[in-house]
Structure 1
């Protein structure tokens, strides 16, 4: 199945640069796994991330922005659950010891 990611961001809040940076991070981390990534301008303070039409983040519901590590983990869980994120990776229940 083709993987499509959409970053829907508010233009009035000037979140284009944040969205473009997140897009670049996702494209780099998931090189060859993302078929299409769309930056979708919006209004009203929107910042939402969709993977194949499934919303994985909403600024209004989650109360802010994901940090990049969290966003990569959310995307990974949708498109490639076994894909390692290297040193930034963590799984629930794992300890560092």
Structure 2
């Protein structure tokens, strides 16, 4: 294909896909600073990335349901579950928090944390960012003595 025949409109998309592909390959599975978060979402919102090959859909939906029950709209505007099905994303279970004007915050990564989130801990981490004064009742922090 000659230079004149190339689609000018598609070039930026192809460059973005190539860059994202390069980013995925450069990720270190135990270094959160190398992770690439999903596309921007309305703020505040949550994205749950999970390995579909590991059959973690039920866990991802359960976590999202529990978070919506704890932080109903308008506190959280959306919770997105993102099934991933590639060799690079095997075993992944990540929870991201999106807030206006801030880069995405990695709230949980199964590989770094050594397992799945205990909902109490996950809710506390999210609450501390979106509603610091909110009581989580029986699953709240114990006061420091």
Scaled by the length of structure 2, the TM-score of the pair is 0.61
Asked which structure has the greater CA Rg, the reply is: 2
Instruction: Find out whether 1:41 has 2:92 as its counterpart.
Output: no
CA deviation after TM superposition for structure 1 residue 91, in Å: 4.3
**Number of residue equivalences:** 94
Which of 49, 53, 71 is equivalent to 1:12? 53
Q: Which is further off, 26-35 or 82-91?
A: 82-91
Gaps of 5+ in 2: 1-41, 99-103
Instruction: Find out whether 1:66 has 2:108 as its counterpart.
Output: no
Alpha-carbon distance between aligned partners in 2 of 1:67 and 1:45, rounded to the nearest angstrom: 17
CA deviation after TM superposition for structure 1 residue 46, in Å: 0.4
Greater than 6 Å deviation, 4+ residue runs:
none
Aligned to 1:27: 68
Alpha-carbon distance between aligned partners in 2 of 1:13 and 1:92, rounded to the nearest angstrom: 38
Higher fraction of strand: 1
CA deviation after TM superposition for structure 1 residue 60, in Å: 0.7
Scaled by the length of structure 1, the TM-score of the pair is 0.89
Higher fraction of helix: 2
Q: CA RMSD in A?
A: 1.5
> What whole-Å deviation, never above 9, does each CA across 1:1-36 have from its counterpart, x for those lacking one?
821100000101111000100100000001121001
CA deviation after TM superposition for structure 1 residue 88, in Å: 1.2
CA deviation after TM superposition for structure 1 residue 38, in Å: 0.3
